[in-house]
Amino acid sequence: MKNIKLESLSLGMPFLNINFKIDNDQEKEIIDEILIRSEDKRFLTSWQCCSSCTKNAIESVLDYRKFMVDQKVKLSKIKNSQFITVVDYLLDEVKKFLSISEKHHIQKHQRFLSEQLEILRNNILKALQKFCIDTKIKHPENLFRMLKNL
């Protein structure tokens, strides 16, 4: 990942617009880690084709939630961290999906859960993509390949 100087951010996500300045090196490192690790998340980079694949994707979502909570903890220690708002948005999207998935058994509702995973994937990737575009951050090459409407 190319290092660039990140000075400010104007970010628009569904139902949320954010304008702020990022000037903390530790915060920039956390942002880089989120982008790099997001590229490796199964639910963000592959389609679910069967109940086993959907189950694996749900496990990937749970792992991603843990990772993002860890990043939020790091960001909370940075005075005036503003990227924490983006992390909160991503965590809210994950929580919504997990609430839905807990109500539906994979074997009986696999198609529905696959559709919900697609919604989650698109919401997270669009938010990260918008962030990368607005800040001119070079992102991992394959991170946004799953988005339908680039």
**Can you give the pLDDT at residue 65?**
96
pTM, two decimals, is 0.78
129: which 2 tokens? Answer: 């993509």
Between the alpha carbon of residue 149 and those of residues 17, 82, 84, 126, the distances in Å are 20, 28, 27, 10
pLDDT in tens, 64-122: 999 999 999 999 999 888 788 889 999 999 999 999 888 877 667 778 888 888 889 88
Between the alpha carbon of residue 88 and those of residues 2, 9, 72, 84, 115, the distances in Å are 25, 16, 8, 6, 23
Q: Confidence class of residue 55 from pLDDT cuts 50, 70 and 90?
A: confident
DSSP labels, 32-65:
HHHHHHHHT-HHHHS---SHHHHHHHHHHHHHHH
